[in-house]
Structure 1
Amino acid sequence: MKTLLSALLLTASCHVLAECKPFRGLKGVVSLEQCAAGDNCVRAAEALFKYAGMKTEENQDPTTLVVFMHASPWRFYDKENRIVSIEDIAKMVRPDIKGKVNRIILKASWSGVPPAHGEKSLASKLSEALGGFPVEGADGFLWIAEDGSTRTSHQAFTVFIGELYKIPAGRELFISMVVGWPASYEEAFLRDKNSEGINAAGEAWDTFYLCPERALRAFETAARYDNPIAAYNAALIRLERKSKGDLKAATALLSQAAKAGDQKAQTRLAMLSKQPR
Structure 2
Amino acid sequence: MIAARRLAVCLAIALLPALGHACDQAPALEGVLSIPQCNPASEECVPGTRAAYEAIQALEIPDVFTIGVQTSPWRMYDAEGRILTIAEVAAAVRAGKPASDRRVHLAGSWTAARPDGSGDTLAHRLSVALEGVPVDGSDGFLWLSPSGAMRTTRQAFSVWRSGPYSVARGEDVLMPLVPGAMAQFEDQFAGDNNAAGVVQAGIGFDVFMLCHERALAAFERAARMGSAIGAYNAGLIHAEKGDSVSAKPWLQLAARLGEAKAVDALERLQ
Corresponding residue number in structure 2 for 1:42: 46
- How many pairs are equivalent? 258
TM-score by length of 1: 0.88
Report which of the two structures shows the higher radius of gyration computed on alpha carbons. Answer: 1
Query: What letter matches 1:248 in structure 2?
Result: V
Find runs of 4+ consecutive structure 1 residues off by over 4 angstroms.
115-118
Corresponding residue number in structure 2 for 1:53: 57
Query: Is the counterpart of residue 6 in structure 1 residue 16 in structure 2?
Result: yes
Corresponding residue number in structure 2 for 1:23: 26
Corresponding residue number in structure 2 for 1:185: 185
**In 2 relative to 1, CA 218–162 (structure 1 residues): closer, same or farther, beyond 3 Å?**
closer
SS in 1 for 2:58: coil
Once structures 1 and 2 are overlaid, which stretch shifts more, 108-117 or 232-241?
108-117
What does 1:214-253 align with in structure 2 at a 5 Å threshold? 214-242=214-242, 246-253=243-250
The superposition leaves residues 166-213 of structure 1 with CA deviations (integer Å, 9 ceiling, x where unpaired) of 111221111110111110111211222321111111100000000111
Question: What runs of 5+ residues in structure 1 fail to find an aligned partner?
Answer: 15-20
Structure 2 distance, partners of 1:81, 1:253, is: 16
Query: What letter matches 1:10 in structure 2?
Result: G
Structure 1 distance, partners of 2:203, 2:42, is: 31
**In 2 relative to 1, CA 117–173 (structure 1 residues): closer, same or farther, beyond 3 Å?**
closer
Corresponding residue number in structure 1 for 2:166: 166
SS in 1 for 2:252: helix
Corresponding residue number in structure 1 for 2:91: 91
SS in 1 for 2:176: helix
Corresponding residue number in structure 1 for 2:76: 76
SS in 1 for 2:46: strand
> Contact 1:236–1:250 at 8 Å: present in 2 too?
yes
Match of 1:257 among 254, 258, 263: 254
> Contact 1:165–1:181 at 8 Å: present in 2 too?
yes
SS in 1 for 2:220: helix
Corresponding residue number in structure 2 for 1:137: 137
Match of 2:35 among 16, 32, 36: 32
**Alpha-carbon deviation of 1:74?**
0.4
Corresponding residue number in structure 1 for 2:108: 108
**In 2 relative to 1, CA 118–140 (structure 1 residues): closer, same or farther, beyond 3 Å?**
closer
TM-score by length of 2: 0.90
Question: Over aligned residues, Cα RMSD in angstroms?
Answer: 1.7
